[in-house]
Amino acid sequence: MQSRRSFLSLAMAPLVRQTPFAWSGIAPGKWVRISADGPPAPKIFHGGAAIAASRGEVYFFGSDTHEVSPAEKVESNSVWRLDLVTMTWSQDYQPDPKSTYRLLDDGQTVTTASRPWAMHTFAAMKWDPSVNRLMVVSHPAHARFEPHKRFPMFKGDWYKHLKPMHWEYDPAAKQWMRLETDPPALFAEAMVWDPDHKQMIGHNGTRTFHFERDRNRWVAYDAATVAGGWHRSLVYDTYAHRVLLLGLNSGSNVLWSYDPEKHRWEQVQVKGWCMPANGATIAYSIRQSRMLYLANDNPDQYNNPGGKSATFVYDSADCYWNRLDGDSPELYGMNYLMQYVPGHDAFLHFEKSKDSANRIVIHGFRLDPGAKTGV
């Protein structure tokens, strides 16, 4: 007989914060709203985030680059960070104006300050602990929307020839570096850090890519899931030693598993059920071998104007999905910002709220270690 977790209803009132932040205030089984100091980062629909556990910080980078506007407004190439010790927001530098944007001969894009342009990042942004740098593999592909109005300084059809780029950011020095690695096309796709083999892995539906840091190169493998499509999300399953993939732009609840040694994907034969995902909001607990999935409780998995969500947990030991009882925080469509904080075995969900003026609100969650799934 399968057992079901029982969870208390959540109290959405802000948690009273101490300095340093009291992680013990996140009780198991409850979503809790967390207060933070400083102006919060803006919520970017097509932006990404990455946690540097060794530094106790989360970094946010990316923009919704569709409109005719100055770069310092909806198009921003600035980096924001959240200090997890004090729960304090900060911005690393003011965004570069479009007057500083430059095109290189090979289709790469830079600013005069040696930074990337404002661009979508999705899930192609992760922390590489082997070099203590943030890695972003993307490019401003959506510069093609009204390019002559948005970038009048450039002539011709330059926007048709933009090249994927490999950027890395040193948060200690607050400096970007552009690496010549001939990176894969991971725009609107996903990457994940493989701690077993100390490598970054990317996937775009058709092929899977491993970054060999010692040789400074990306290696492509003919390992496919669903050809075509986008908005995938990846986590690394430290129990099964596999990459897990959830989500597709058409909406999918098929869970895929990738073997980094055999270079092969296969569908996981799961027990239970979860809602479909388009840009899945997921993170993985290495301590409990379980993946948290905050799902849009709406038929349209791309847009969820009501913000209603549901919380699911995937247990790696028995390949079981379980929907948790109780309320869940707001979620307005795809969101690549959720992070797992290993030192506190807690999850942080970053999303705007109805009263946040499009700025990020933080919610914390801790899995109940005693509420294991029985099959």
HEC string for 27-84 = CECCCEEECCECCCCECCCCCEEEEECCCCEEEEECCCCCCCCCCCCCCCCCCEEEEC
Give pLDDT, residue 65. 87
Dist CA 170 CA 131 (whole Å): 9
Please report the pLDDT score of residue 19 as a whole number: 81
- For 361, the 3-state DSSP assignment is strand
Q: Using DSSP bridges, classify how beta strands 165-170 and 88-91 pair: parallel, antiparallel or unpaired.
A: unpaired
Instruction: Calculate what percentage of the chain has a pLDDT beyond 90.
Output: 89
Structure tokens at 116: 């990337």
Query: What is the DSSP code (8-state) at residue 125?
Result: E
Instruction: Report CA Rg, the chain.
Output: 20
Percent of the chain with pLDDT over 70: 93
Cross-strand bridge partners of residue 18:
none
Burial 190-216 (b: 16+ CB within 10 A, else e): bbbbbeeeebbbbbbbeebbbbeeeee
Nearest to 125, CA basis, from 205, 296, 116: 116
Given this model, what pLDDT does residue 15 score?
53
pLDDT value at position 2? 35
The confidence score (pLDDT) of residue 226 equals: 97
Structure token pair of residue 218: 């990306």
State the Cα–Cα distance between residues 139 and 137, nearest whole angstrom: 7
pLDDT under 50: residue ranges of the chain: 1-14, 16-18, 374-375
* Residue 287 burial (CB count, 10 A): 15
Host H or E run for residue 148? helix 147-150
Return the closest-CA partner of residue 119 out of 175, 63, 165, 183.
Answer: 63
pLDDT number for residue 309 = 98
Cα gap 200→183, rounded to integer Å: 12
- pLDDT given at position 12: 44
